[in-house]
Amino acid sequence: MKTLEKASRQNKVHSLAQLRTLQKEMAELLFRPLRPNWKSRRTNDDGKSVSKIAAGFIKPNDRLTSFERLEIYNRCYWFRVLDSLYDDFPGLLALLGNRKFLKLATAYLRQYPSESFTLRNLGSRLESFLSEKPEYSSPHQGVSLDMVRFEWAQIVAFDEASRKPISPREIKGKKQGALRFGLQPHLCLLELNHAVDHYLIAVKNQDTDGLRNEASNATNAVPVDHNRRRRLTRPKREKVYLAVHRYDNMLYYKRLECAAFSILRDLGEGRSLESACKKAIKTHDSKNLRPEDFQEKLTEWFSDWSSLGWLTSPRTKKETK
């Protein structure tokens, strides 16, 4: 704070270094969590008066003090980023409940404040945070981690890049051992331990029902109390293989058979089709199938993947850098 206080007394910025210092300290003041009553804190963690610091570089006016002007931006920051997390992770919110989710979101944003020009990236480190700080999702850390991975995958799938799907002409006549594919950048493959996909559908259906009731003009419509929503049964423990993807600018997720998931994952890692299929036959649920039955399944899977546009030409070395 010494550099800032010196610049504050001068009341001017004379260099880029002083400007960077001022911007950094201003950001630190804005990123400070609010008090329980949604007001700004009067002192910093080191005990220094925020009012005095603010007075050094924020001019008061006839209605507001320097601290009150700073408080407007401090509150706007927190209201916006919290709203973004609430919107992006409704499944996690339903799992933890509003009070616990708010504590988690506040602690997360304090450790990982927004550093991107877009709020799209705000929750990118939430999975890591939950792994580092299990107390914020205890005693449901496992299902919470699955839900965060699932909901973050939807954000990625919604706006990640799309490449031109591979055409039958490009693979015609190639031997299986030499055949390689790439996967769409927006395709996310998830191996989960809980049925969070079914749970999230139930959460969104509940929200939709509430909106329908609120929008209804019927005299017998019952107002929705969002603080007393019907508690949903937590996702059951179940091995789930999911593909989260975009199709015609719409977001979808699809359950996969274990062997199909394995093949797609290996193709995405650069393995040949022959290698990926052999591995799937040896290690997954396809090992009990006759070769002709597996071939039939493989044909069915590839037909689906091609129609959805998941398969692309392999990435070049330049693209993977």
- Per-residue model confidence as pLDDT tens digits over 302-318: 999 999 999 998 876 55
Q: Which long-range contacts (CB under 8 A, 24 or more apart) does 29-38 make?
A: 29/53, 29/54, 29/70, 29/74, 30/70, 30/73, 30/74, 30/77, 31/77, 31/109, 31/110, 31/113, 32/74, 33/78, 33/106, 33/109, 33/110, 34/74, 34/75, 34/78, 38/75, 38/78
Q: What would the pLDDT profile of 134-188 be if each residue is shown by its tens digit?
A: 999 999 999 999 999 999 999 999 999 999 998 877 776 666 667 889 999 999 9
Query: Given pLDDT bands bounded at 50, 70 and 90, which one contains residue 215?
Result: very low
pLDDT at 267 > cutoff 80: yes
Taking alpha carbons only, the member of 138, 197, 202, 160 closest to residue 312 is 160
Query: Given pLDDT bands bounded at 50, 70 and 90, which one contains residue 319?
Result: low
Q: Provide the residue ranges of all domains of the chain, joining segments of one domain with +.
A: 1-81, 164-195+239-320
Query: Given pLDDT bands bounded at 50, 70 and 90, which one contains residue 278?
Result: confident
Q: What is the pLDDT of residue 155?
A: 96
pLDDT at 229 > cutoff 90: no
**pLDDT: which is higher, 150 or 6:** 150
Mean pLDDT of the chain, nearest integer: 85
Q: What would the pLDDT profile of 29-42 be if each residue is shown by its tens digit?
A: 888 899 889 999 99
What tokens were used for 164?
Answer: 């031109």
Q: What is the pLDDT of residue 224?
A: 40
* Count of positions (residues) in the chain: 321
pLDDT at 131 > cutoff 90: yes
pLDDT at 209 > cutoff 70: no
Query: Given pLDDT bands bounded at 50, 70 and 90, which one contains residue 321?
Result: low
Report the amino acid identity of residue 25: E
Q: How far apart are CA 101 and CA 87, in angstroms?
A: 12
Taking alpha carbons only, the member of 154, 149, 164 closest to residue 310 is 164
Q: How far apart are CA 191 and CA 16, in angstroms?
A: 48
Q: How far apart are CA 156 and CA 151, in angstroms?
A: 9
Q: What is the pLDDT of residue 7?
A: 41
Q: Which residues contact 307 (CB under 8 A, 6 or more apart)?
A: none
Taking alpha carbons only, the member of 243, 142, 147, 158 closest to residue 200 is 147
pLDDT at 212 > cutoff 90: no
pLDDT at 225 > cutoff 50: no
- Residue 82 neighbours by CB distance under 10 Å: 17
Q: What would the pLDDT profile of 69-98 be if each residue is shown by its tens digit?
A: 999 999 999 999 999 999 999 999 999 999
Indicate the pTM of the whole model.
Answer: 0.82
Taking alpha carbons only, the member of 95, 96, 84 closest to residue 200 is 95
Say if CB 74 and CB 40 are below 8 A apart.
yes
Winning range, highest mean pLDDT, from 38-47, 72-81, 271-280: 72-81
Query: Given pLDDT bands bounded at 50, 70 and 90, which one contains residue 250?
Result: very high
